[in-house]
Amino acid sequence: METIAIPAINFAPIMPEVILSIFGMALLLVNVFVPSEQKAYLGYLSLGGILLTAVSVLNGWNAPVSGFSGSVLQDNFAVFFKCIFLLSGGLTILISDHYFKREGCNVGELYPLLLFATVGMMLMASGTDLMTIFLGLEVLSVSLYILAGLNRASLKSNEAGLKYFLLGAFSTGFLLYGMALTYGATGTTRVIKIAEFIAQNGVVAQNPMFFIGMLLMAVGFSFKIAAAPFHMWTPDVYEGAPTPMTAFMSAGPKAAGFAAFMRVIIIAFPTLKADWSALLWILAVLTMTIGNLIALNQDNIKRMLAYSSIAHAGYALVGFTAGNAEGTAGILFYMLSYAFMNIGAFAIIVLVGKKGEENNNVSDYAGFATKHPVLALAMSVFLFSLAGMPPTAGFIGKFYLFSGAIKAGYIWLAIIGVLNSAASVYYYLRVMVYMYMKNPVEEFDWMKFSAPVTLCIVIAVVGVLVPGVMPAYLLELAQKAVLL
């Protein structure tokens, strides 16, 4: 009788994903037996899962390990991004219970979905095979479609979920078709094998199938990071989705899109750097400019931050275009900083908001500093960081992104980035003008403080100011995590 040998499987590269998946499945079961008024306990359990996963992730620093025939790799690059994902998920959980209690939603399914979305993001960062990256992307996307439409009593939330689902499925088709064409041209889906095939068969770069495949993958990833002209879904989805979910989508999934995009482009196509740098140059300029110009005219603060998010993707693309160690490290530093400043700003929006999100206009913040000076100061810190003003992490991040571009010879790209960053100051300062220089129209007496939201804001302020004043340690970690 013939024996079948079962190969040894190394679970170490995906142990963080396994831990978080177990917590997510456990929460699905616990949710069935927990009364509606006690759903907040699920949030504490999910935070425990994130902390335990973070310990497993940090154990992988400076100890790269691959598994599943090289389809998954936990290196410093993956560890750094996984920390961003876990941070984004944890901060979102802290502000979610307050929001959904105010809206009167049963939020039991929220926490497992957040954990599964985080699992998908971590797979995207660790994936060294196109199919692994696609698997992570789908786990993330399906969770986000549901999270965007989680408030079933809100027509805007329903619309956001439906729009995101339809456009997301459409963009996924581009990405998967691009992967299929790349496989057809090279005979492999492993990113390192694709690079080896191109190095040995230089003529493949002239193959139309290969070129179109690379272009379609760029389109798919551009949708995920909300790069222009593939950004059209962002303002409607960000405005309609529940505010905590908007905060989460603006930080974690955007970083995951960059992680996968960078892993594929930098590792699989190093010999075609001149080609993809030219494409990224155009994407960066379009994304920065369109995001900032349209944000100038927005009255809804969530919609304004949505276009701001598009512009910030453009800043990160500047470092990506540079394609050097400085630019890549700048992206890692900037994605982490952006998670702090953007989720912190949305945490304050959650506190200020009324049931039904009726007061999300910039003018609704008139006189806010008079009634809540500490919160107004925290909001100002986040807005200054988003604008790239010292001494905040946003300034340090933009400085390294633009420095990388200058070092790589992209002087005009850096100049365009600086000009766009200067233009963005207007719409961030506009919020502060209303907070500090307008007479209060409301008493803000409906605001109720909760310990989790306060903790989120404190963590975010520290995360914005400390790296802005003392960036050396974090930058050193980012430099150790670059792929180059």
pLDDT tens readout for residues 253-272: 999 999 999 999 988 888 88
Q: Looking at the domain assignment, is residue 7 inside a domain?
A: no
What's the rounded Cα separation, in Å, for the pair 470 and 142? 38
- Provide the pLDDT for residue 124: 93
DSSP-derived letter for residue 6 is P
Give the up-direction half-sphere exposure of residue 414: CA atoms within 13 A in the CB hemisphere: 17
What's the rounded Cα separation, in Å, for the pair 398 and 385? 10
CB 248 within 8 A of CB 88: yes
Q: Looking at the domain assignment, is residue 405 inside a domain?
A: yes
DSSP string, 393-434: HHHHHHHHHHHHHHHTT-HHHHHHHHHHHHHHHHHHHHHHHH
Q: Looking at the domain assignment, is residue 130 inside a domain?
A: yes
Q: Looking at the domain assignment, is residue 193 inside a domain?
A: yes
Q: Looking at the domain assignment, is residue 177 inside a domain?
A: yes
- Provide the pLDDT for residue 2: 60
pTM of the model: 0.93
What's the rounded Cα separation, in Å, for the pair 383 and 436? 14
What's the rounded Cα separation, in Å, for the pair 458 and 475? 22
What's the rounded Cα separation, in Å, for the pair 383 and 229? 25
Low-confidence ranges of the chain (pLDDT < 50): none
Element spanning 369, H or E: helix 368-371
Using DSSP, state whether 477 is helix, strand or coil. Answer: helix
Give CA 478 to chain center in angstroms: 17
Look up the domain containing 397 and give its range. 12-480
Q: Looking at the domain assignment, is residue 301 inside a domain?
A: yes
What's the rounded Cα separation, in Å, for the pair 87 and 89? 5
- Structural domains of the chain, count: 1
State the Cα angle at 29 between 26 and 35, rounded to 5°.
120
- Provide the pLDDT for residue 3: 65
Q: Looking at the domain assignment, is residue 440 inside a domain?
A: yes
What's the rounded Cα separation, in Å, for the pair 12 and 66? 8
- Provide the pLDDT for residue 7: 63
What's the rounded Cα separation, in Å, for the pair 306 and 302? 6
> Cis bond leading into 391, ω under 30°?
yes
DSSP-derived letter for residue 7 is P
CB 228 within 8 A of CB 310: yes
What's the rounded Cα separation, in Å, for the pair 158 and 153? 8
Q: Taking Cα atoms as reference points, which of 241, 246, 230 lies closest to residue 310?
A: 230
What's the rounded Cα separation, in Å, for the pair 364 and 361? 5
In this structure, how many other beta carbons lie within 10 angstroms of the beta carbon of residue 180? 15
Q: Looking at the domain assignment, is residue 5 inside a domain?
A: no
What's the rounded Cα separation, in Å, for the pair 319 and 99? 35
Q: Which two tokens stand for residue 413?
A: 């790209």
What's the rounded Cα separation, in Å, for the pair 107 and 150? 8
